[in-house]
Structures are given as structure tokens and as C-alpha cells.
Amino acid sequence: MLRILFVIPYLEVEQSVKQVFQEVASLKEEEISYDIRLAEIGGHLDIENDAADIIIARGFTAASIKTSIPKIELQVSAFDMMKAAKKCIRTYHCEKIAFIGTTNMIFGADSFNEILDDVEVTSCQVKSSDMLDQAIDQLLKEGVDAVIGGRSLSQVASRRNIPYILLQSGKESIYQAVEEAITAMRFSRSEKEKREYLQAIMDYSFEGIVSTDISGNILSVNRFAAERLNQYDRGRHHTPDWMIGKPLTHFLPELSLTSETQNILSRLITSGRRQYMVNCVRLSEKNDQPDGFIITFRDIENIQEDEGRIRKQLHSKGLRAKYHFEHIVGNSRIMKETIQTARKYAHAESNVFIHGETGTGKELFAQSIHNASSRRNGPFVAINCAALPESLLESELFGYMEGAFTGAIKGGKAGLFELAHNGTLFLDEIGDMAINLQARLLRVIQEREIMRLGGSQMIPVNVRIIAAANKDMQAAVKDGSFRQDLLYRIDVLRLELPPLRKREQDLLELTECYINLERQKTGCILKDLDEHAQRWILQQPWEGNVRELRNFCERLCVLCENGTATMEDISIASGTNATSTPVSATKTSCAKSDEAEEIISALREHNGSRKETAAALHIDTSTLWRKMKKYGITS
């Protein structure tokens, strides 16, 4: 509902006002209520107790009303002024008349001289009714015969027996004022809703937001900022409104804003007993709006707490092993034996040591062992011991208490041993661990308990350790870079991973697998390799092992523009003038003899059953029959 207070300048206009409101109410969708009050002589009016959304008043009354309620001034139209001038001429047969009142009330009166030939028209603008007597005296000296103005003027003129005419506002002017009031009220409510919506957004923010003018005086503030910046005034319940108009330095003494201040980013500011990370952005003058600043800030303690929560969440998301034995590609005899050994280790609880060259898949086996073990539902935590300096690796492994060292977060931090409780801790490149840290790791493995840095309490942990290295650990023990007693503790179940050069039977299968993965991921057109390209793959040493082969396949998939890769594509992808030569008879015979022995062994194990043998070798029965014919094997 729109509530309008209409302050009428004289009683005679009341009926016209009521008629206008009735007409307007019948045309508008929203409900409109109104109240009519007669203006006080002198323009003063007490409206503090009136429940109105907007006020309509005229002349001295409109000028004198001091309130936060919006107001619309009832205008006097040129037609209304002409009617008053004609009536004055007819009534008093004047030669000179004068309009007296506020600027908005008598503006344009002097222009009537161009229309009225027999009468001189003048005007006198006054700001308050207290100036009427003085204005009349001056006009009388100038030869004015009669005056025209509002109700206050009529009272003064009547008292002094001066001819006057009451300047009335017609129905059209009243209608225009009511329409303007309704439009203004709609706009005001819309803007208020927007402000309240924006304020609600600000209040739900978990950081302080303050806007100021160019001098640093507060214009708006959200609830978070009010709570933080008012916390030192104990016993006083301050609301955000209490801060409006006050200088920002009253609350943040270190942040002084002037016309010379530019953007401030990530400045650490102390206020009372708290520290804040503050950002300040200057708003340039635009659309007639003055310069100002937007200040946002956060409590350092809150930032540190959030950082701790983020670290825990990131850890929790990354404490799962995603690979299983089924993900390991390889049907060569040496690879099958390695996988079979790893499966046996998975059912044990002893520590495992995986040794293999770079790129042979040590973490792949570690994750597979974990997922096949009784700890599969527990966390899998991995760390590269060669990637961190000694001091940082120690804090990562064992954790620390609050205040243990400079930069330690509030509340301390759990180490990887704690995070891996009831699960598996994978220590990759353990051979590069600092000798001092090896002693502490040995004690943790022996006692199954850890103590955080800066702490005094022992924390029991139930962790299975899988360690890995690509160096000769016995040589490391001999040269003193690795403790022999620690090696005994971690090297309980040893798993040797074969390099790719000993897995020739797996090379083409791995190549096909990686090409298929790239095609699924990137949509490349490469599907297979021709005979010469396959022969080249078999002839390479692949010193980087599976990792090198996978990188090469990815590069080949990106560069190859055909469905089948040729030696030309191989040359481009390898960056060399690649050529293929027939595989040596020795290699061929070795590969054939290995495969023949594998088939013969499987046939014996399954009592000559070709179906069971083919299933055990993961090939079709027809493929088994062809291979048996090729090698001259009989069942």
C-alpha cells in the first residue's frame, strides 16, 4: 500500500484533492491511502508522527518541512497563475500587480507582460513567510496595486488591508503532483528493495565489506565488518548503522584513505588484538558519482583456519589408491610372475620394498598391492622422499604442533603417518632420504608410534609401509648414505620390477593400449602401426621404460595424421631418422622359445585341455591352436 500525506495550502482545495485521489485509485493496481492536513500559517508543520511514505506540499510549507520522508512539491501551473492574474485585474482594476512566493510557486510570472497589455506584472521571490512584510513594503514603493500569492501572503495582506488574490492550484496540478508522488514512491521502493537485497548479500559474506567516500568516511558496512570492528567496545551493542559517517581510521587506524590513495592489495593491518588481510579498491568518478573506496578484509585467524580445512579436504580426496592389478598391462612370463608375487604380498602385513628402474611402474604396483590387501578401505598416502628438503619432509611425515616453528599454522598439522593410519604409506625414492631422518623413521617402524614436531605426546599409528627406490640399496648401505638397519626393516618383501627391455612380448600390447587411451582422450585418428613401425618399437631400448613409451605414444598420436603410423610418422615423433631392420634371429628365437615354453607349461598344468589352457593364457582357443601348430607343440 502507498501512503500519501497531502498538505493542502487552503481549505477550498480539499474537495479537489479528494476527487483526484478517487480517480487515481480507480486507475491504479496497487492500493493507495491518503491523509489530508491543512498547512500551518508560516509554513511550519509537525509531521514526525505521521505514517506516510511520501508527502505532497506547496510553497513555504514544502520548503520548511524537515524530514527523511520523501516529498513532492505541488506546483502552480502557468494556467493557474493566469487565472489568478485575470481575477486580480477584474476585481481591483489594477495597473500593476505582483506575484509573491517561493521560486517554484511563481516561476515565470514576469512573462505575463507579453500577454497582458494593460497591466504590468512583476514578481518577488521569498524563501520564508517571515520575509513577506519586507517584500510587500518594497513592492508598494514600486507602485504595485495588488499582490497574488499563497495562504501566508493572504494573511499578511488582509492584516495590512492590501488588495490580494489567493493563488490556487487547479485540479490538473493536483493530479500531476499525485501521479509524480506515486511514480517517485514506486522508484523509491524499487531502489530500497535493491539496497536491501545487496545489503543481505553483503551481510551473508564471510568477509568484512566497507564503502567510504574519498575522505575515508564510512558510507555502508556489512554485518561481518560491524561485528569485527566494533568488538573492542565491550558493553555497547553497535549496529552497522552506528558506523555510518564515521572515519574508517576510527576502526582501522593503520588504513588512512585520502584523495591520493590508490588500490591496496593484500596488506596486513593490525587493529587492537587482531590482524586483518585488507584489500582496498578505489572507485573512479562515474555518472556524476563521487570518488570513493571499497574495502574488504578477513581475519588472519580465519584465513589460517580455512587453509587448514582446505589442506585436510585435499588430503582426504587424495588418500585413495585408484589402480588395481587389472590395470597392469603385460602378458609376458616375467610380468605375470611379478604380478603373481605382488598378489601374494598383498595378503601379508609385512613391509614391502619395490625396486625398479625409473618408469617401471613402482607406484602402480604399490597402489595395486594396497587395493588387494585387507587395508583396501583405509587411506593410501604417497610421498616422494626426494622431492622435499629434510626439514619439510620431517614435518610432512610426522606433523607438528602449533608454534613448533615459524609459519606453523594454528592448531598444528597431522603428518602423513597419522593420515595413513589403518592404511598404507608409500615412500617413493626412499634411497634419497636424509640420513638423519632415516633414524627417526626407523624408530617409528619399530615402535609403531610417532611424536609431532614440538610435541611431547606419543601417537600410536597402524601403518603398512611400501617403500620404493631405483638405486642399488646395498651399494647405498656400503657408501654410508643409507642405514642398513632401516633397509632390513623395509626390505621384508622384495619386489623386483622388470625393465621394459626384458618385456619384449608386452611392447606392442602396451603401445596399442596407450594409443587407444589417447584416442579416447583426444579423439586422435591413429589406430595402429604398420609392420615396419612395429619392428622399430621392438628394437628400441626404452631406457625410460613404460613412462618413455607412453610419452612417445602420446606424441605420435598428436603428430600422426593417418589411421596407421608409418616409419615417416615414427621419424617425426622420435625426432630422428628412424629406420627398422629385421629382428635378429637370436631375439626372435628367444621370444619364440619363451612363448613356446609358456604354452607347454600351461598345457601340462591343465592336463592338455586346450580350452582351459587358452583361458589361462588369456587368448582364444583358435589362437592357441595356431601357436601350437607354429611351434610344433602337440597336446
Pick the CATH number of 500-574 from 1.10.8.60, 3.20.20.70, 3.30.70.1150, 2.40.50.100: 1.10.8.60
- Mean pLDDT score across all residues of the chain: 85
CATH of domain 78-168: 3.40.50.10660
Which fold would CATH assign to domain 319-496? Rossmann fold (3.40.50)
**What class does CATH assign to 585-631?**
mainly alpha
Grid coordinates given for 547: 613412462
**What class does CATH assign to 2-75+173-185?**
alpha beta
Q: Is 268 helix (H, G, I), strand (E, B) or coil?
A: strand
Grid coordinates given for 309: 580445512
Write the pLDDT tens digit of every residue in 138-184.
999 999 999 999 989 999 999 999 999 999 998 999 999 999 998 88
Which comes out higher in pLDDT, residue 184 or 239? 184
Topology match between the domains 2-75+173-185 and 585-631: no
Distance of CA 229 to CAs 117, 234, 490, Å? 71, 12, 56
pLDDT above 50 for 344? yes
CA gap 152, 44 in Å, rounded = 11
Grid coordinates given for 110: 514576469
What are the sequence ranges of the domains in the chain? 2-75+173-185, 78-168, 205-303, 319-496, 500-574, 585-631
Q: What's the distance, CA 612 to chain centroid?
A: 58
Burial of 1 (0-12, 13-18, 19+ CB in 10 A): exposed
Please answer whether residues 37 and 197 qualify as being in contact, where contact means their C-beta atoms are separated by less than 8 angstroms: no
Which comes out higher in pLDDT, residue 273 or 244? 244
pTM above 0.75, yes or no: no
70-79, 346-355, 556-565, 616-625: the lowest-pLDDT one: 616-625
Bridge partners (DSSP) of residue 293 are 212, 282
Highest mean pLDDT among 31-40, 446-455, 562-571: 562-571
CA gap 175, 61 in Å, rounded = 19
CA dihedral 123, 127, 130, 134 (to 10 degrees): -40
Write the pLDDT tens digit of every residue in 471-500.
999 999 999 999 999 999 999 999 999 999
DSSP at 432? G
Please answer whether residues 185 and 53 qualify as being in contact, where contact means their C-beta atoms are separated by less than 8 angstroms: yes
CATH of domain 205-303: 3.30.450.20
CA gap 478, 209 in Å, rounded = 63
pLDDT above 80 for 40? no
Please give the pLDDT value at position 405. 59
Ramachandran category for residue 608: left, alpha or beta (phi over 0 → left; psi -120 to 50 → alpha)? left
DSSP at 407? T
**Rg of the chain (C-alpha set):** 46
Write the pLDDT tens digit of every residue in 111-138.
898 888 889 999 999 988 889 999 999 9
For residue 213, the one-letter residue type is D
Q: What's the distance, CA 423 to chain centroid?
A: 34
Give me the helices (H) in 209-352, please: 223-229, 240-243, 300-318, 333-346
Which comes out higher in pLDDT, residue 71 or 305? 71
The closest of 359, 373, 363 to 545, measured between CA atoms, is 359
